[in-house]
Amino acid sequence: MVEETQGSTAGDSDYQAVGGGPAIASVVDVFYRNVLADPQLAGYFADSDLAKLKRHQVQLVSQVMGGPVSYDGLALAEAHKGRGITGEDFGKVVVHLVAALEAHDVPADIIGRVVTALGATQDDIVGAH
């Protein structure tokens, strides 16, 4: 499971520092727009329920940022089982998330904590059988 990051602004969580749920939902919208436009990644989502994926991604990012939201989806290894996701694919997804965070002026220290938390999930996602 993904761990929460620590906030750095006067006791506020990273979740609060970036603007809470509405800001994270906007980040996730930009993230999926970019991922779905990426020919290397789009195929992974061809038969997916995008609304459900977005909801789970908002939950996951919110939890990672210390928000009052908990991810309630499948365990990451189970959710990605049999999809054949490579390390390169995982890296591209992280790049798209970072770009979406940057487009929303999320501070670099918060982005760094999110990337660290995502890195800890790589083994659950890449090559999940």
Note the maximum CA span of the chain. 43
Q: Give the angle subtended at the CA of 100 by the CAs of 121 and 119, to the nearest 5°.
A: 15
The model carries a pTM of: 0.86
Closest-CA residue to 27 (of 92, 128, 102): 102
pLDDT per position in the chain (129 positions), as tens? Answer: 444 444 444 458 999 999 999 999 999 999 999 999 999 999 999 889 999 999 999 999 999 999 998 888 889 999 899 889 999 999 999 999 999 999 999 999 999 999 999 999 999 999 766
At residue 46, the pLDDT reads 87
Do the Cβ atoms of 67 and 53 come closer than 8 Å?
no
Do the Cβ atoms of 70 and 63 come closer than 8 Å?
yes
- CA 113, 71, 21, 9 torsion-angle sign: negative
